[in-house]
Amino acid sequence: MAISVAIVEDDKGLREDLAGFINSRRGLRCAGSFASAEDALQSLPDKPPDVVLMDINLSGKSGIECIAALKPRLPDTQFVVLTVFEESEKIFAALRAGASGYLLKRAAPAELAGAIEQVHAGGSPMSPQIARQVVQFFQSQRKAPASAAAANTEDLTARERDLLALLARGKQYKEISDQLGISVDTVRSHIRRIYRKLHVHSRTEAAMKFIGK
């Protein structure tokens, strides 16, 4: 079954180009395109897509605000920011809001298609420049007290902590399934419980909790 992708982008030309590109790719299907966060908020909950490509700088509500409003209502939908902004505060604001990926608009078409497939499979695609900033952030946190991580995850079972450790290392659902000897559906069920216990909406937020941020 094709991966359904919705687009939230206020540039009409780019929005139409993205929709045409997605529909031209085998295994992808454009499920709708929206010029504003307000339009997306009104329409997407009725027919949740698998993936949403979200611009940040929209004319009304920002893309970050839109993700924060939609993610709790669409927990199984993956949000990928597609923007020109490389500032670290916007990157982490988007990830905290519930985005699972962050791409720059200058990404090549093949990179964009690969990112959609990757996030749908449980990954967290990022443009190399963005990934470097995320890595540098985590490296700067290495001296954080271990007790902070324990305090954030104390309500998790031993199995949930094992799964969260693998999730924080970037493992995909199938890899976690194979390593722990459980089904992919069981992995998803554990992850949903982990998200509820940690009060997060994405694997990135969960990973931040795990390392104590």
pLDDT digits (tens, 9 = 90+) for 46-66: 999 999 999 999 988 999 999
DSSP 144: S
For the stretch 109-125, pLDDT in tens is 999 999 999 999 888 88
- pLDDT at residue 12 greater than cutoff 90: yes
pLDDT category at 139 given cuts 50, 70, 90 is low
Q: pLDDT tens across 151-208, in order?
A: 456 788 889 988 888 877 767 788 888 989 999 889 888 988 888 888 877 777 777 7
Pairing relationship of beta strands 78-83 and 51-54 according to DSSP bridges? parallel
Distance CA 38, CA 40 (A): 5
- In which residue ranges of the chain is CATH 3.40.50.2300 found? 3-130
Burial of 95 (0-12, 13-18, 19+ CB in 10 A): buried
CA angle 208, 183, 185 (to 5 degrees): 70
- In angstroms, the CA 39 to CA 36 distance is 5
DSSP state of 126: B
pLDDT value at position 147?
44
In the predicted structure, residue 210 carries a pLDDT above the cut 90 = no
Residue range(s) in the chain whose domain bears CATH number 1.10.10.10: 143-211
Q: How far is CA 52 from the centre of its chain?
A: 9
Residue of 103, 10, 110 lying closest to 57 (CA atoms): 10
User: 37 vs 89, which has greater pLDDT?
Assistant: 37
Q: Looking at residue 184, what is its pLDDT? A: 87
CATH code, residues 3-130: 3.40.50.2300
Q: Would the pTM count as exceeding 0.75?
A: no
6: left (phi over 0), alpha (psi -120 to 50) or beta: beta
Q: What strands lie across the sheet with 28-34, from one edge to the other?
A: 28-34, 3-8, 51-54, 78-83, 101-104
Mean pLDDT of the chain: 85
Q: In the numeric block, which tokens belong to residue 183?
A: 């089904």
Question: Which residue bears the tokens 């199938």?
Answer: 174
Q: How far apart are the C-alpha atoms of 163 and 88, rounded to whole Å?
A: 28
Q: Which of 198, 101, 192, 96 is nearest to 149 (CA)?
A: 198
What is the spatial distance between Cα 118 and Cα 120, in angstroms, rounded to a whole number?
A: 5
Q: What pLDDT does 146 receive?
A: 47
Residue identified by tokens 């985590």 is 138
Q: Which pLDDT value is given to residue 165?
A: 83
**Residue-level pLDDT at 150:** 44
> Where does 143-211 sit in CATH, by number?
1.10.10.10
pLDDT confidence bin for 149, thresholds 50/70/90 = very low
pLDDT of residue 153: 66
